[in-house]
Amino acid sequence: MSQTTAQPDSQISNSAPPPVPPTTLEQTGLPPDSLSQLVIKTLYTGESSGTMLGDRLQVPYSIFERLIEAARSEKLVEVRGATGAGTAGYRYALTDLGRERARALLDVNSYVGPAPVPLAQYVSFMTALAAMRGHVDRERVHNGFLHLVVNPGILDQLGPAINSGKSVFLYGPPGNGKTVIAEGIGQTLGGDMYLPYAIDVEGQIITVYDPVNHQSLEAAEERLLIAAPTHDRRWVRVKRPVVTVGGELTLDMLDLTFNPISKFYEAPLQLKSNGGVFVVDDFGRQRIRPRDLLNRWIVPLESRVDYLTLHTGKKFEVPFNLLIIFATNLNPETLADEAFLRRIPYKIYAKNPTVDEYSRIFELNCRRRKLQFDPVVIEYLVRRYYEPRNIEMRCCHPRDIVEQVVDMSRYQGREPTLARDL
């Protein structure tokens, strides 16, 4: 039932349409046994009213009420009282037989939490979301980077790259803000979207929502299921994901992670990034060879579909609707062959700042650290250090200089100022 309706191509929306809430067990797409088992496992943690049980499963009580009644008839669940009107107010608890059943179920799969979304519903929703994808214009891109000083020429290259929805090589000398620019793309896209707490693939559970990489936009009171839900609560509304990974990236992190103790999976990074941005920072410095990593991406970049494999050997496909940004200090031609580079149509060079850009970056950092900015300082640095020593300006230099001035001033017990003796 988790569906959305495609809209005409337009500017990228700040708010994604919500997945339609199910009103029947059939519309959840889950087999009755799967939801019944999740109810039993959830009650193993303690008694709960029907309403609160629905809140924990993120499914309205009315949908699984008959499953509770079936469990009662099997002597697995009993009523211990009531906290409100109707069966939704009953306090349910496991019987001894129910606790024995729960332990057996937890031994097979210990997942307890929001009911999962079937793979078919996830694929359908994300495919429809991709079809609705709009575009950004020049004004939106430039406004999205107002908090930074970025060369307009670079921004005008980023715009078409964002609209392509494919992948970007952002390269250039170290310290010129490639990582900040990459993450700024996510802020430029902005808005929110929905992603499932978990996905069900033939009875195997894959957790997707990750509070480390996803920022929930749902307040606690919005999650309560007392009122009629406005969207399928198995999906959580989050800020458009921007997942960044650096030198710690390995090929294993791009595959499903199976926990042999809990016996369910965690989604790989690219699945957590779906609908958003995936930044591979400092590309070429990972513990794996760049060629191996690039080979992993060839098919997804071309077909917009990724293939994942369960530990049972079952292989399945998921949408690959994300913008991948490879940020590197190295020349792309030294990292990949022509066949792969052809699949990354946008290669953007983050060049050194001009003196004017350097000055504006310096002024911006002074404001952030509450220092009085004086343009004379820039003239002094150019004349005293950059020109005679043939030092290339970098975007990171102003920040580094300002922070060192503040650190030294505090050490000396002085008010931070841009004094030459510091």
Q: Is the pLDDT of residue 307 over 80?
A: yes
Over residues 13-27, the pLDDT tens digits come to 556 789 999 999 999
Q: Which CATH architecture has domain 117-349?
A: 3-Layer(aba) Sandwich (3.40)
Task: Provide the mean pLDDT of the chain.
Answer: 90
Give the burial class of 361: count Cβ atoms within 10 A of its Cβ; 0-12 exposed, 13-18 middle, 19 or more buried. Answer: buried
Give the C-alpha separation, 320 to 318, whole Å: 6
Mean of pLDDT values over 6-19? 60
Q: Is the pLDDT of residue 7 over 60?
A: no
Residue 374 half-sphere exposure toward CB, CA atoms < 13 A = 9
Q: Is the pLDDT of residue 378 over 50?
A: yes
Q: Is the pLDDT of residue 59 over 70?
A: yes
Question: What confidence tier does 54 reach under pLDDT thresholds 50, 70, 90?
Answer: very high
State percent of the chain over pLDDT 90: 70
CATH of region 31-108: 1.10.10.10
Window from 39-43, 187-191, 308-312, 374-378 with minimum mean pLDDT: 187-191
Question: What confidence tier does 227 reach under pLDDT thresholds 50, 70, 90?
Answer: low
Give the burial class of 104: count Cβ atoms within 10 A of its Cβ; 0-12 exposed, 13-18 middle, 19 or more buried. Answer: exposed
Over residues 236-281, the pLDDT tens digits come to 999 999 999 988 899 999 999 999 999 999 999 999 999 999 999 9
> Do the first three CATH levels of 31-108 and 117-349 match, i.e. the same topology?
no
pTM for this prediction: 0.87
Helical residues (DSSP H) of 165-306, grouped into ranges? 178-189, 220-223, 269-272, 290-303
The residue ranges of every structural domain in the chain are 31-108, 117-349, 355-412
Output the pLDDT for position 70.
Answer: 97
Question: What confidence tier does 1 reach under pLDDT thresholds 50, 70, 90?
Answer: very low
Q: Is the pLDDT of residue 292 over 90?
A: no
Kind of pairing, strands 305-309 and 315-319? Answer: antiparallel
Give the C-alpha separation, 212 to 193, whole Å: 16
